[in-house]
Amino acid sequence: MTEHQEQSPAAPAAQPQSYEAAAARVEEIIRRLDSGEASLDETLALLGEGKALIELCASQLSAVGDALEELRLDELVSRLEQQAGG
């Protein structure tokens, strides 16, 4: 390792994969920002991490919503087919 290889303190932690873990991390970030104790660099890093996590949560919620809509459409088609069949 060279002397110029340093881990940036602004580097965000690995993103949680589950919605619940991501939402919990966003809450931690909000608490840290609300504390007023974060430095400017940390604040910028937390804001970037929070934005990415919120986008991840929104994407997962959208996917669930799409799946629920498909399920509803499938149920409707099934009911219509049953009614048409007799």
Is 76 in a helix, a strand, or coil? helix
17 pLDDT more than 70: yes
Global pTM reads 0.68
Is 9 in a helix, a strand, or coil? coil
Q: What pLDDT does residue 62 have?
A: 95
Please write the tens of the pLDDT for every residue from 26-72.
999 999 999 999 999 999 999 999 999 999 999 999 999 999 999 89
Q: Assign 7 a pLDDT band (cuts: 50, 70, 90).
A: very low
Q: What pLDDT does residue 44 have?
A: 98
CB 46 within 8 A of CB 29: yes
